[in-house]
Amino acid sequence: SEQFSNFGQRLCGGSGIEELMDDLGTAMALGGPDTKMLGGGQPAHIPEVNALWRRRMQEIMGSDGAFEKMLSNYDPPRGNPHFLEALANLFRESFGWDISAKNIAVTSGGQTAFFFLFNALAGAFQDGRRKKILLPLVPEYIGYANQSVGEDIFRAVKPCIEKLGEHDFKYRVDFDHLKVDDDVAAICVSRPTNPTGNVLTDNEIAKLAELAKTNGIPLIIDNAYGAPFPNIIFTEAEPVWDENIVLTLSLSKIGLPGTRTGIVVANEEVAAAVASMSAIVGLANGNVGQALMEPLVRSGEILSLSNEVVRPYYIDKSKAARQWVAEAFDDALPYRVHLSEGALFLWLWFEGLPISSRELYERLKARGVLIVSGHYFFFGLDDSDWQHRNECIRMTYTMDEATVKGGIEIIAEEVARAYSEA
């Protein structure tokens, strides 16, 4: 529409992430029993976790003034000082990182943190230079794709694909083709990765951190699923942070997506920049997630919750979903599943699929199964001939057994039908 500015042209006209969140939010709010929501990154409702939120809310209601403080006060733009302090202590004690509250800023969800960071670091500069965010391995999180307020800001590198056995695979960073030049503003990865469930190895992270440092740019690590919370990570992977790393966390995947609480851990300059942006865009962040979580961070209960409840719950779910895929799919079909090393998804690859993943999405939606077409996750890449980008889908495995198993069976039917049309 002509009424919109350049900013408006980029942000007002819809996006993959809007489509996905609309499918998700509508199914959660209104979905009938026949909708199989394997689309968005909705965390499971884990009974022990929900019981804890209930307990915390009752404690807040029962203590003098806490409820009114939570609902009726503005926090500072950077976040609640008690929450920031508790987090800094947790990171120092858990990992030995040399940080204080000045290294942390809260945002309205991790999503908002990325909007701030990408636009503050990349795009057009006063001296005419233009800089990009380098994604060393796509597929990468769909939520980044449309966040630039100016020009396209992503440059992505294809991965090495390691085929494992008959029906598994894993992506690895292709360091031979990963080049950093003057127009790279920062390197960014999600770990565990949405959509694939990949966890970059410690060696890959060390190499990326070194590459960033030698080029004087930050390495942004999106830790929405990582340690120490929610710790939805099934391999051994060392959490890392230093002055050159911007680490983001979130309270969403431990079970509080409705509170919209993101956390940025960075050097003091970057953390202050995030707080400045929060003030301009939203004055302050929501208080509720921070208020619910602060004593759990202080006591360390957030760690036992992550390690003893959340992580094992998702390991079991992931294994069950992988098993149902093996049972539902015809062994003769060339399907492959990315190793599930963390996060909430299975990433399925159908090599040589005669229809696009977008068409598969439409056929599945018509049968009441919501997944996400893989093509959205390959942004920032020039190579439109690369067939792989149209051969993958992401399915979330967090819902109840009937939904996930039933959904997988329908996916298997539709995939078999598509191959038989060739």
Residues forming contacts to ligand PLP in the complex (CB under 6 A) are: 41, 109-111, 141, 143, 190, 194, 222, 224, 250, 252, 257, 262
The pair of structure tokens assigned to 234 is 């099934």
Contact 195, 374 (CB under 8 A): yes
Question: In the chain, how many H helices and how many E strands?
Answer: 13, 16
**Nearest CA among 135, 20, 53, 2 for reference residue 309:** 53
DSSP 148-211: -SSS--EEE-PPEEEEETTTEEEEE--GGG----TTEEEEEEESSPTTT-----HHHHHHHHHH
Work out how close the CB of 189 gets to ligand PLP at its nearest, in angstroms, rounded to a whole number.
9
Q: Which is nearer to ligand PLP, 35 or 398 (CB)?
A: 398
Q: Which is nearer to ligand PLP, 109 or 139 (CB)?
A: 109
Point out which residues pair with 221 in neighbouring strands: 189, 247
**Nearest CA among 118, 122, 119 for reference residue 185:** 122
Q: Which is nearer to ligand PLP, 224 or 412 (CB)?
A: 224
Contact 208, 157 (CB under 8 A): no
Q: Which is nearer to ligand PLP, 114 or 335 (CB)?
A: 114
Q: Which is nearer to ligand PLP, 24 or 415 (CB)?
A: 24
The pair of structure tokens assigned to 177 is 């083709």
**Helix (H/G/I), strand (E/B), else coil: 254:** coil
**Helix (H/G/I), strand (E/B), else coil: 104:** strand
The pair of structure tokens assigned to 137 is 């391995």
Residue type, 171: Y
CB atoms within 10 A of CB 2: 5
Work out how close the CB of 143 gets to ligand PLP at its nearest, in angstroms, rounded to a whole number.
6
Work out how close the CB of 221 gets to ligand PLP at its nearest, in angstroms, rounded to a whole number.
10
Work out how close the CB of 130 gets to ligand PLP at its nearest, in angstroms, rounded to a whole number.
25
Q: Which is nearer to ligand PLP, 229 or 335 (CB)?
A: 229
Work out how close the CB of 262 gets to ligand PLP at its nearest, in angstroms, rounded to a whole number.
5
Cα–Cα distance for residue pair 268/278, rounded to 1 Å: 15
Q: 120: which residues sit within 8 A by CB, 6+ positions away?
A: 273, 277
Cα–Cα distance for residue pair 418/422, rounded to 1 Å: 7
**Helix (H/G/I), strand (E/B), else coil: 324:** helix
**Helix (H/G/I), strand (E/B), else coil: 8:** helix
Work out how close the CB of 129 gets to ligand PLP at its nearest, in angstroms, rounded to a whole number.
28
Residue nearest to ligand PLP (CB): 109
Cα–Cα distance for residue pair 195/229, rounded to 1 Å: 19
Q: Which is nearer to ligand PLP, 112 or 403 (CB)?
A: 112
